[in-house]
Structure formats: C-alpha cells, structure tokens
C-alpha cells in the first residue's frame, strides 16, 4: 500500500495546472505530452507534429508551395517581414504569406500587422501613400 501525502500531491497539481489530475511525472496530461514531445526533439529526432502536416496541406492548397518553399522565402527576406523587418520571434507567430488577390501571385512574407495594413488598404498604393503623407510632419 502506497501512502500519499495529500499536501504534496496538491502541490504537484498546483505546479502544473490548477485542479488538473496528475497524469504522469506529476503533470497534467497536456504538459506531460508536451514535455515528452520536447524531450524527443532534444534527442534530435525529427518529430512531425500535426500542425506541420496541416501547414503543409494549407500552403499547398492555397498557395501551391511547400514548407521548404516558405523557409526559402523567409531566408531570402533575411528572416523577417518584407515591410517592417520584424522577425517571427518578435512578432510571436509565423509570418503570413502575402499574395495578390487579383493575380493570386505570392508577393512575400509579412508580419500580421503589415499583412492587415495591406488588407485594410485594399492593396491600394495610393491609399498607403496618403496615409504615409498624413503621418509625416
């Protein structure tokens, strides 16, 4: 029979997720599997997550490119947004694939703010020029 210190078990629960049951290694199910996946990556094993599979499918379906093509574009742009120069790390997410809605041709990779800027301006250079002139003293 195993004697469990209730206060110690509650601390394990609180350290991970509030009121989540302990799944393994004193962690909730989410953190247990996340830690397990990270340890696999640390062992230099190529782990293909479902998000990579989904990304590959979306890129191929909507833009006709692969993740490798995206990575090449990112490298050719110096690893940053084509407009403001923010990196994905600074932005907190991957750069968006910017494309012309008229020609469907990919123009480059943009951070979410710059991508929305173009979208809100309806990709109209005159609108963007007027906005820049408005901002300048």
> What is the mean predicted confidence (pLDDT) over 122-127?
92
Distance CA 131, CA 121 (A): 9
- 20 and 68 in a single domain? The answer is no
Give yes or no: residues 24 and 65 share one domain.
Answer: no
pLDDT of residue 44: 52
Same domain, 62 and 128: yes
- Asked if 33 and 65 sit in the same domain, the reply is no
How far is residue 100 CA from its own chain's centroid? 22
Question: Is the model more confident about 98 or about 7?
Answer: 98
Q: What percent of the chain has pLDDT over 70?
A: 69
Q: Give the list of residues 6+ apart from residue 56 with CB closer than 8 angstroms, or none.
A: 66, 67
> Strand locations in the chain, DSSP E?
96-99, 106-110
pLDDT at 53: 74
C-alpha span between 10 and 117 (Å, rounded): 48
In a shared domain, residues 31 and 93: no
- Could you tell me if 70 and 34 lie in one domain? no
Q: How many CB atoms lie within 10 A of CB 20?
A: 14
> Is the same domain home to 15 and 69?
no
Residue 10 pLDDT exceeds 50: no
Please tell me the distance from the alpha carbon of residue 87 to that of residue 89, in angstroms, as a whole number: 5
Instruction: For residues 85 and 116, state if they share a domain.
Output: yes
Measured distance CA(59)–CA(82) in Å, rounded: 19
Residues 61-113: tens digit of each pLDDT: 888 999 999 999 999 999 999 999 999 999 888 999 999 888 889 999 999 99
Residue-level pLDDT at 118:
92
Residue 63: Cβ within 10 Å count: 15
**Residue 26 belongs to some domain of the structure:** yes
Distance CA(77)–CA(107), nearest Å, equals 11
Q: How many domains does the chain have?
A: 2
Same domain, 37 and 55: no
Mean pLDDT taken over the chain: 79
Inside any domain, residue 1: no
Structural domain of residue 113, as residue ranges?
50-135
Q: Is the pLDDT of residue 116 over 50?
A: yes
The DSSP secondary-structure symbol of 66 reads -
Task: Please give the average per-residue pLDDT across 119-136, as a whole number.
Answer: 92
The residue-averaged pLDDT of 3-24 equals 55
């Amino acid at each position: 029979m195993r004697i469990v210190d209730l206060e110690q078990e509650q601390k394990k629960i609180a350290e991970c997720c509030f009121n989540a049951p302990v799944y393994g290694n004193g962690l909730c199910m989410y953190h247990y599997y996340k830690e397990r996946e990270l340890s696999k990556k640390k062992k230099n094993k190529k782990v293909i997550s479902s998000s990579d599979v989904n990304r590959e499918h979306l890129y191929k379906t909507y833009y006709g490119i692969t993740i490798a093509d995206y990575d090449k574009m990112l490298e050719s742009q110096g690893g940053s947004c084509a407009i403001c120069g923010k990196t994905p790390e600074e932005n907190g997410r991957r750069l968006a694939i910017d494309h012309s809605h008229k020609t469907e041709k990919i123009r480059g990779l943009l951070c979410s703010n710059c991508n929305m800027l173009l979208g809100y301006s309806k990709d109209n250079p005159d609108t963007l020029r007027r906005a820049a002139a408005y901002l300048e003293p």
